[in-house]
Amino acid sequence: MDLIILRDITIIFGVAVVVILVCQRLKIPPIIGYLLTGVLAGPHGFSLISGIHEVEILAEIGVILLLFTIGIEFSLKNLVKIRNTLMIGGGLQVFLTIAVFYLITRMDFVGAQDGNSIPESIFLGFLMTLSSTAIVLKLLQERGEFVSPHGRTILGVLIFQDIVIVPMILVLPFLAGVSDDGSSGIFEIALKVLAVVLMVFIGAKYVVPRLLYLVARTKSRELFLLTIIVIALAVAYLTYMAGLSLALGAFLAGLIVSESDYSQQAFGNVVPFLDVFTSFFFVSIGMMLDVDFLLSKPLLILLITIGVIVVKSVIATGAGLALGFPLRPSLLVGFTLAQVGEFSFILSKKGQELGLISEGNYQLFLDVSVLTMAATPFVMSAAPKFADILLRLPLPLKLKAGLSPDNVAEDYIKGINGHLIIIGYGVNGRNVARAAKFAKIPYEVIDLNAETVRVEKKKGEPIFFGDATQESVLEHASIKEAMVLVITLPGSADLRRITQVARMMNPHLHIIIRSRFVTDMQDLFKLGADEVVPEEFETSVEIFTRVLAKYLIPREEIEKLVSIVRADGYEMFRSLSLDQSNFGELTFKVPEININSLHVCKDSVIEGKSLDEIAFEKNHNLTLLALSRLNKTYSKMPDDFVLQENDILFFLASYDKLNKIDNLFKSGNSDCSLADNDKRLL
């Protein structure tokens, strides 16, 4: 029995564990660890892996699952919202990148002595224009920037890149000069693409929601998981057969599932498999790095790598500016899309088969591409700092603020004082605005989503378009006269920059920040934040508060515990330990009694008698808390209060104690049911 693939998987994971442990100690992103694992275990390293083809198949599954989960989280409605970004931003980025790299590769300092041929230069432009969907989206998810304005722009450009692979593949035979009349082939591909779009619409609207409903009714987790996996793989395979990429098909499958009521359950089921299979993808990329070729021309490869990152960053930044975004988020878009993508490798293999790329350029392309991918986490981390430095330069305000018609080129807000400024108009921002409106607190909203600004302005909301990391934008909102600033943005880098600038402009401003992670708290406090509310632990606080309340712990004791937890920066949760000495005499005891009820039946012993006659506390040692009659609840009753049929009495007592007086409430008639009105109370 051949178990080579099992041996290879064991080796990959074994090497990955060691490498990633070292990376964690050095605070290097895990993606770099996976790439290094591929380099060490691959054919250009120690040649520990023999089933490279099998590993590549597992890597394809990883890409499918990653794009599938992204599609579930994004949904068709969100895709429609970024249609302008997808077509304009994606189109500009792709065609400008092809044109620029065509001109560069025609020069004699790259590749051949007299420059590359026209077909090869065009082909190299194709390869350079694509960015890494898998790496970028994974990093955006980890950094909590997926729903940010620049995150949505990046997604739109990446989707356009996946779509444009189809015409690129169709053009390759023409570039190589080996194609006959391909009009019928193009027409066939167009029909297939149209069929895929129709399939997505019908599947999202009619087929998948009903299928998942039938599966969910069985209450079988195994069947539900299998159904989700089949949907993801089937749609990916169908789009692949139509000439589109597997990744795009997986993304479309996620969009289909996202329109059903079971999208979150599907997401939760797939996530455990996601990290395992995506690790194979990054390992397979690392295996492509030819270490010998790299060591033979280290300076040339390093310079070309830096050049590719710079050129792609500038072009993608220009695409962001063309969409009307301010300079800072446009720069974040540019740096994030600066690497060469995984689908360039697929395209390069087809080009190599057709003779469109020389062996030397092919090896150069592989090494440069892997290095740009490895540099991506560091480039993305450095992007906000570089953007802040660039914004300090005396650049035109129109460039800094963006070309949107709703930018800050309007007249400054005047006559407002002691107001609230809300940055970010997502769910949290909207709720803060509603509360401010209810309390009649004057407020201003700043948001980077041009469509949101346009729609909300029509509704009368005091909102304007702008990048709040810039002083001019905050000045427009009269921050020097404001009393409170609430920041609800998802990106950690933006939170830090806005906090720093706002504190510098108004030392007396009270700054409240919604942060995704508790690890951001100390940095934000140092930069000037007054209050930081981390999502990941505030949910835990709310849960344990309700748990303790259910156990009848006194309210002041609960509030004391909450204050202690928040005061030490949630250290109790982070360290998973609790120093009892910090809590003084704070002790919790579960009460041994419960609140239970009894129903007064017709002709029972106590019907028609007053509370004074029955004397529950004196004769039976029971505490009567309340009484319900005809949809009304009485908590305070006089001694002469007379009990009637269908009254419901609530006692602070255990079942055992109530059983002793149960006969007082019953009658000789076996039918002692509640009236319809009283049934609704139970």
pLDDT digits (tens, 9 = 90+) for 202-245: 888 788 888 888 888 888 888 988 998 888 888 888 888 777 77
Contact between 113 and 360 under an 8 Å Cβ cutoff? The reply is no
Q: Is the pLDDT of residue 192 over 80?
A: no
My answer on whether 470 and 571 are in the same domain is no
Structural domain contains residue 590: no
Distances (CA, A) of 80 to 87, 90, 593: 11, 15, 56
Structural domain contains residue 50: no
> What is the pLDDT confidence band of residue 30, given thresholds at 50, 70 and 90?
confident
| pLDDT at residue number 217 | 85
Number of domains in the chain: 4
Phi, psi at 445, each rounded to 5°: -120, 135
Which of 391, 415, 433 corresponds to the end of one domain? 391
| pLDDT at residue number 60 | 79
My answer on whether 90 and 227 are in the same domain is yes
The top-scoring range by mean pLDDT among 103-107, 254-258, 276-280, 420-424 is 420-424
> What is the pLDDT confidence band of residue 583, given thresholds at 50, 70 and 90?
very low
| pLDDT at residue number 494 | 80
Half-sphere exposure of residue 165: CA atoms within 13 angstroms, side-chain side = 30
Better-scored residue on pLDDT, 478 or 572: 478
Q: Is the pLDDT of residue 436 over 80?
A: yes
Q: How far is Cα 673 from Cα 682, in angstroms, rounded to an integer?
A: 12
Q: Which domain holds residue 416?
A: 401-529
CB-based burial, 641-660: b 16+ in 10 Å, e otherwise: eebebbbbbbbebeeeebee
CB-based burial, 478-489: b 16+ in 10 Å, e otherwise: bbebbebbbbbb
Better-scored residue on pLDDT, 391 or 89: 89
DSSP lists the bridge partners of residue 463 as: 445
The residue-averaged pLDDT of 483-508 equals: 87
Q: Is the pLDDT of residue 584 over 60?
A: no
My answer on whether 287 and 230 are in the same domain is yes
Q: How far is Cα 373 from Cα 338, in angstroms, rounded to an integer?
A: 9
My answer on whether 602 and 487 are in the same domain is no
The residue-averaged pLDDT of 147-153 equals: 79
My answer on whether 575 and 638 are in the same domain is no
Q: Are strands 420-423 and 443-447 parallel, antiparallel or unpaired?
A: parallel
> What is the pLDDT confidence band of residue 313, given thresholds at 50, 70 and 90?
very high
Identify the CATH number of the domain in which residue 147 sits: 1.20.1530.20
The residue-averaged pLDDT of 137-147 equals: 77
Better-scored residue on pLDDT, 162 or 315: 315
| pLDDT at residue number 677 | 43
Q: Is the pLDDT of residue 267 over 60?
A: yes
Closest by CA to 341, choosing from 115, 494, 134, 125, is 134
My answer on whether 312 and 420 are in the same domain is no
Which of 350, 373, 391 corresponds to the end of one domain? 391
Structural domain contains residue 202: yes
My answer on whether 106 and 165 are in the same domain is yes
Cβ within 8 Å of residue 419, ≥6 positions away: 441, 442, 443, 444, 478, 481, 482, 483
The residue-averaged pLDDT of 330-337 equals: 92
pLDDT digits (tens, 9 = 90+) for 605-618: 899 899 988 988 88
DSSP lists the bridge partners of residue 168 as: none
DSSP string, 318-357: HHHHHTT--HHHHHHHHHHT-SPPTHHHHHHHHHHHTT-S
The residue-averaged pLDDT of 22-46 equals: 85
- The proportion of the chain whose per-residue pLDDT surpasses 90, expressed as a percent, equals 15
Stated length of the chain: 682
Identify the CATH number of the domain in which residue 653 sits: 3.30.70.1450
Closest by CA to 342, choosing from 35, 73, 29, is 35
Closest by CA to 253, choosing from 211, 283, 190, 221, is 211
Structural domain contains residue 274: yes
My answer on whether 88 and 158 are in the same domain is yes
> What is the pLDDT confidence band of residue 379, given thresholds at 50, 70 and 90?
very high
pLDDT digits (tens, 9 = 90+) for 457-477: 888 899 888 888 888 788 888
The residue-averaged pLDDT of 486-498 equals: 81
Structural domain contains residue 600: yes
Q: Is the pLDDT of residue 291 over 50?
A: yes
pLDDT digits (tens, 9 = 90+) for 513-564: 888 777 778 888 888 998 888 876 777 777 777 777 766 677 777 777 777 7
> What is the pLDDT confidence band of residue 302, given thresholds at 50, 70 and 90?
very high
Lowest model confidence (mean pLDDT) among 183-192, 272-281, 436-445: 183-192
Helix residue ranges per DSSP H, 116-245: 118-129, 133-143, 149-176, 183-202, 208-217, 221-241
Structural domain contains residue 455: yes
Which of 512, 529, 546 corresponds to the end of one domain? 529
The answer to whether the pTM exceeds 0.85 is no
Distances (CA, A) of 250 to 26, 61, 246, 256: 34, 10, 6, 10
| pLDDT at residue number 411 | 43
My answer on whether 333 and 272 are in the same domain is yes
pLDDT digits (tens, 9 = 90+) for 614-669: 988 888 888 888 898 887 888 888 888 999 888 888 888 777 788 888 888 887 66
| pLDDT at residue number 577 | 46
Q: How far is Cα 412 from Cα 257, in angstroms, rounded to an integer?
A: 45
> What is the pLDDT confidence band of residue 680, given thresholds at 50, 70 and 90?
very low
My answer on whether 147 and 292 are in the same domain is yes
> What is the pLDDT confidence band of residue 315, given thresholds at 50, 70 and 90?
very high
Q: Is the pLDDT of residue 580 over 70?
A: no
> What is the pLDDT confidence band of residue 404, given thresholds at 50, 70 and 90?
low
| pLDDT at residue number 46 | 86
Structural domain contains residue 589: no
| pLDDT at residue number 112 | 45
3-class DSSP state of 627? strand
My answer on whether 465 and 429 are in the same domain is yes
| pLDDT at residue number 412 | 43
Lowest model confidence (mean pLDDT) among 63-72, 332-341, 346-355: 63-72
My answer on whether 448 and 569 are in the same domain is no
Q: Is the pLDDT of residue 406 over 60?
A: no
Q: Is the pLDDT of residue 125 over 80?
A: yes
Structural domain contains residue 396: no
> Mean pLDDT of all residues in the chain?
80
